[in-house]
Amino acid sequence: MSNTHATPEATQALSQAHPSVPYQPLGNTGLMVSAAGFGGYRVDVEVAEHHEALEKALLAGVNLVDTSSNYTDGNSERLVGAALGKLMGQGSISRDQVVVVSKAGYLQGQNFELSQQRKQEGRPFPELVEFGQGLEHCLHPEFLADQLTRSLERLGLKRLDVFLLHNPEYYLGWAAQQQMDLGQAREEYYRRLGQALAHLEDEARQGRISYHGISSNTFAQASDHPEFTSLARVWLLAQSLGHGHRFRVIQFPFNVLEPQALTRPNQPGGQSLLGQARQLRLGALGNRPLNALNQGRLMRLVEVQAGLVPTPDQVGAVVADLLASESEIKTLLFPRLALEEDQRQQLAEFLGAARMLSEHWPEFQGLEHWRSVQGEYLLPRVHAAMQFLAQALGEDQEAAGLIQGHLELLARALGTIEAVYRAATAQENKVLKARLALADPDWAQAPSLSQMAIRALRSTEGISSVLVGMRRPAYVDDVLAELARPVAQAPRLEAWRAMTGKAPA
C-alpha cells in the first residue's frame, strides 16, 4: 500500500469493490480509473455543496479527480486536498485508490500577482507569454517547478499522479498576434514543449509526479490550423526523453457536437487523435462533455424544461415596464443625490438594463449566452446601482419602494426573456436527443440528454475517462445513474459520423 500515490493494485481492487461503476485502464500506466472523473473547473473550497459533491463521488467509486492550479485561483486544488484529507482520515478511502490530475501553465489571480512581483524584483519567469492585464502563460521549467510545489501544498499531497501542461498552444496564439512566421513559431513551440517535458521527466525521477502529459484544446484541430498541437510531434519529443519515459496522458475537448478527436484525420497516416492515442497506449481524458461549442455558440447538453413561451409582444411589454421604472427613478431619485455629472452618468449606465434589452433581447446566441450576459453583466450592474441608491438615500421610504419595485420588474423581465430562450433550447435538445438515439442504439438507452452525452463518450473505444463537472450532489447522482447502465466500449465511428452528417467511408 502506498500513502503517496495511486497504484495499479489499489485502483484494480477499488474497481472490483464498486461493480456498478465501470473502470478503464489509464493508458499503459497500470492504473484503473472510473469511466467518469470529477472535473474541478468551477469548484471552490469555500462552497459547502462542492465538498458534499466531491466526497459523494469519491465514496461512490469515482477515483479520478481533475483540477488545475488556476481553477478558482487555487481553491479547486484546496477543495480536492480537503476532501481527500477528510476521507482518508476517516479511513473511507486510501491515497493509493485515487488518481489526482492537475495542470500548470496559466498565470491568473494570485499567480499573475506573483509574476508581477517577480518582474519588479528583476527575476521574471523566463519565456513568459504576456497576453494582457490579468493573464499570462508559461511553460518554462522554473515556472513549472514553482507551480508543482504550490499545487502539492494546496492538495496536501507528496506526489501528484498526473501533471499536465495546460493549453500550451497559448504560445502559438501569442505568436500569431505578434505576426510571427508560422514555421518559426511552431519550431519554437515544440522547443518549449520539449524543454517542459524534459523537466517533467526530472520531476518524475524525483518522485514529485508519477506521470505527465499535455491538456490541449487544439489536439483535435485541423493540422493546418495555426494553433494545432500535433500529438505525433509531441510523441517524438517524449521518445527523446529515453526508454521508460513518463509521458502517458493527454486531455482534450470531446463531446457529441465536437467529435473531431475521433472523426478528424489530423495525424500521420490519416489517423485521428483518439486513434493515435490508442495506438500509443496513452491515457485519454475527454473534457467539456456537457459544454459544447456549436458554430461558435455554447450549448449546455442537459435537459431543459420549457414552460409557456412568451410572445414578442409580451416580452416588449415587460421590458417597457422596466424602462418606465428606470425613467421614474432617474426623475424622482437622482435629484436627491449630490453627484458629479460623471457619477450621475455612470449610475444611469449601470441602471439602464431596459434600453439594452429592448434593443437586443432577441439577439442572444442561446440560453447559455443569455445566462452569461445576465449573470456577468446585467445583474451585477443593476444591483450595484440599486445598492448605491439604497445606501445614499437611507431612510427615504419612497426611494425604498421604488427600488424594491424596480427589482421586481427586473426579475419579471429577465424571467420572461429566459422563458423564450429556454423554449428554444428545449426544442434544440429534443432534436439532438433524437439524433443521438438514431446514431447508436446503445446511446438510446440513456433517458436524459446529459446521460446520453456521457454515454456516447464513455462507450467510445480509446477514452479512459470523461471529466464531468459534478459540482452538486444531484449532478453526481445523474452521472452515477448513467455509469450503472452497462455499455461496452467500441469504435462507434459510424455513429459519430452520423452525428456529423458524414456518410460512413
Ranges assigned E (strand) in 276-341: 283-287, 291-294, 297-300
Please name the residues in contact with 340: beta carbons below 8 A apart, sequence gap of 6 or more. none
Mean pLDDT, all residues of the chain: 95
pTM: 0.88
- pLDDT tens across 134-188, in order? 999 999 999 999 999 999 999 999 999 999 999 999 999 999 999 999 999 999 9
Contact 407, 387 (CB under 8 A): no
Integer Cα distance of 168 and 192 in angstroms: 9
Please give the share of the chain, as a percent, with pLDDT higher than 90: 89
- pLDDT tens across 424-461, in order? 989 999 999 999 999 999 999 999 999 999 999 999 99
- Terminus-to-terminus CA distance in the chain, angstroms? 49
Site of grid cell 449601470: 350
Please name the residues in contact with 53: beta carbons below 8 A apart, sequence gap of 6 or more. 43, 470, 471, 472, 473, 475, 476
Q: Which of 251, 154, 238, 168 is nearest to 200 (CA)?
A: 238
* Higher pLDDT pick, 13 / 298: 13
Res 502 pLDDT > 70? no
- pLDDT tens across 346-400, in order? 999 999 899 899 999 999 988 989 999 999 999 999 999 999 999 999 888 999 9
Integer Cα distance of 246 and 214 in angstroms: 12
Residue 505 pLDDT: 36
Amino acid at 359: E
Contact 249, 283 (CB under 8 A): yes
Integer Cα distance of 416 and 467 in angstroms: 34
**Residue 100: CA count within 13 A, CB half-sphere:** 30
Residue 339: which pLDDT band, with cuts at 50, 70 and 90? confident
| DSSP label at residue 448 | S
Integer Cα distance of 444 and 432 in angstroms: 11
Integer Cα distance of 451 and 483 in angstroms: 9
Neighbours of 493 (CB within 10 A): 18
Residue 504 pLDDT: 36
C-alpha cell at 483: 455509469
- pLDDT tens across 239-260, in order? 999 999 999 999 999 999 999 9
Residue 37 pLDDT: 99
**Residue 152: CA count within 13 A, CB half-sphere:** 20
Residue 503 pLDDT: 37
Res 119 pLDDT > 60? yes
**Residue 415: CA count within 13 A, CB half-sphere:** 8
Integer Cα distance of 256 and 289 in angstroms: 8
